[in-house]
């Protein structure tokens, strides 16, 4: 028969806390904080007053009231922790996130408890809050939170907290439910641009040319891709290079533009250039221009941009003065 090892006195607090974390589905790295509300401060003050009066007078009724008030405080803390236990929060980030632009995050809040519902749940991201009054067991509800990313490039998703003042409103318990290690790509800030203004052709940092194509003119020659029209294969170039090359032609009625991105060495001026280039790109695409983007180390053809401007936005988002990071 295997003897059972007795738990030492030193191990009791650790064992107790470990079991408590398991019951409430928390990790030891989770940050849990409790703060009294205005009502809670008033209730605590009254409890202290009743307790002091009971000690001074020896009145059994005051002792009974004081004991009931202390039990309310204990029950409030215990029930609020149960209310927040086994709540799972997942964030769904949108595809296009731009710097200094309000971004709406969809948060999926799931109550994983088997029987017990949760009440009065507040979801917090930075200073923005969402509220769910009632969350039944095994049910997922959505909450939308708006958030600003200050810089382009890779950004960390902010921490997500849940809090509640349930059941009596005396204390607000707050739990860090998700410390996200995941990063999101934030595109450059977008400014409003009117391409009909004279300044459109006068920027010194980025050169743009806008012209109407002729249906028979060759715009560029590129490698053949699956799905391209075989009639547009440029046989002379294909024979020289040894692989199929295809002609890109100007459309008779299409408007075309070339954005030449000439980055500055000055960081402040570079950020302005990147904002202008990204803003101009999206405005031209929105107005159905065929846009070609030329930078010192990479060129994006109009056919690539017509499929999606995201590769250019990604390039600008990650540009650090020497290319992509």
Over residues 30-38, the mean pLDDT reads: 84
Over the stretch 108-167, which tens digit does the pLDDT of each residue have? 999 999 999 999 999 998 888 889 999 999 999 999 888 889 999 999 888 889 999 999
Alpha-carbon distance of 192 to 160, in angstroms, equals 32
Residue 36 Cα distances to 164, 174, 248, angstroms: 11, 11, 69
Over residues 60-84, the mean pLDDT reads: 92
Residue 198 Cα distances to 201, 202, 203, 212, 257, angstroms: 6, 7, 10, 18, 15
**Percent of the chain at pLDDT exceeding 90:** 42
Q: What would the two tokens of residue 293 be?
A: 């983007």
How far from each other are the two terminal CA atoms of the chain, in whole angstroms?
63
Alpha-carbon distance of 186 to 310, in angstroms, equals 11
Over the stretch 94-107, which tens digit does the pLDDT of each residue have? 889 999 999 888 88
Three-state DSSP state, 108: strand
Alpha-carbon distance of 297 to 235, in angstroms, equals 28
CATH of 15-186, one of 3.90.180.10, 2.60.40.10, 3.50.50.60, 3.40.630.10: 2.60.40.10
Answer yes or no: are the C-beta atoms of 171 and 36 closer than 8 Å: yes
Q: Of the ranges 13-27, 41-55, 235-249, 293-307, which one carries the lowest mean pLDDT score?
A: 13-27
Q: What would the two tokens of residue 24 be?
A: 């409430």
Alpha-carbon distance of 220 to 312, in angstroms, equals 19
Answer yes or no: are the C-beta atoms of 213 and 219 closer than 8 Å: yes
Over the stretch 2-31, which tens digit does the pLDDT of each residue have? 443 433 334 434 444 455 455 555 544 457
Answer yes or no: are the C-beta atoms of 108 and 89 closer than 8 Å: yes
Q: How many CB atoms lie within 10 A of CB 228?
A: 16
Judge whether residue 206 has pLDDT over 90.
no
Ramachandran region, residue 25 (left: φ > 0; alpha: ψ -120 to 50; beta: rest): left
Domain boundaries, the chain: 15-186, 198-215+250-318
In this prediction the pTM is 0.67
Name the band, by pLDDT with cuts 50, 70 and 90, for residue 72. Answer: very high
Answer yes or no: are the C-beta atoms of 210 and 288 closer than 8 Å: no
């Amino acid at each position: 028969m295997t003897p059972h090892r007795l738990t030492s006195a030193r191990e009791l607090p650790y064992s107790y806390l470990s079991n408590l974390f398991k019951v409430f589905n928390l990790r030891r790295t989770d940050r849990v904080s409790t703060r009294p509300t205005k009502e809670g401060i008033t209730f605590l003050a009254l409890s202290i007053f009743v307790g002091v009066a009971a000690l001074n007078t020896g009145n059994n009724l005051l002792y009974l009231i004081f004991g009931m008030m202390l039990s309310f405080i204990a029950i409030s803390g215990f029930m609020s922790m149960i209310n927040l236990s086994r709540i799972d929060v997942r964030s769904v980030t949108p595809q296009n996130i731009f710097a200094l632009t309000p971004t709406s995050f969809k948060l999926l809040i799931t109550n994983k408890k088997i029987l017990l519902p949760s009440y009065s749940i507040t979801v917090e991201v930075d200073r923005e809050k969402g509220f769910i009054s009632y969350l039944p067991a095994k049910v997922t509800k959505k909450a939308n939170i708006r958030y600003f990313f200050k810089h382009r490039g890779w950004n960390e998703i902010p921490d997500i907290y849940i809090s509640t003042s349930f059941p009596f409103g005396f204390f607000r318990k707050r739990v860090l439910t998700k410390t996200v290690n995941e990063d999101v790509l934030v595109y450059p800030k977008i400014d409003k641009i009117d391409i009909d203004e004279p300044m459109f052709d006068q920027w010194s940092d980025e050169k743009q040319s806008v012209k109407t194509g002729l249906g028979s003119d060759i715009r560029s020659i590129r490698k053949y891709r699956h799905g391209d029209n075989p009639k547009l294969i440029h046989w002379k170039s294909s024979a020289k290079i040894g692989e199929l090359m295809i002609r890109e032609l100007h459309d008779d009625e299409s408007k075309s533009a070339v954005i030449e991105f000439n980055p500055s060495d000055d960081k402040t001026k570079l950020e302005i250039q990147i904002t202008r280039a990204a803003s101009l790109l999206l405005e031209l695409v929105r107005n159905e221009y065929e846009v070609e983007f030329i930078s010192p180390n990479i060129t994006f053809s109009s056919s690539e941009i017509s499929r999606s401007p995201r590769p250019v936005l990604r390039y600008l988002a990650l540009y650090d003065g020497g290319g992509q990071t």
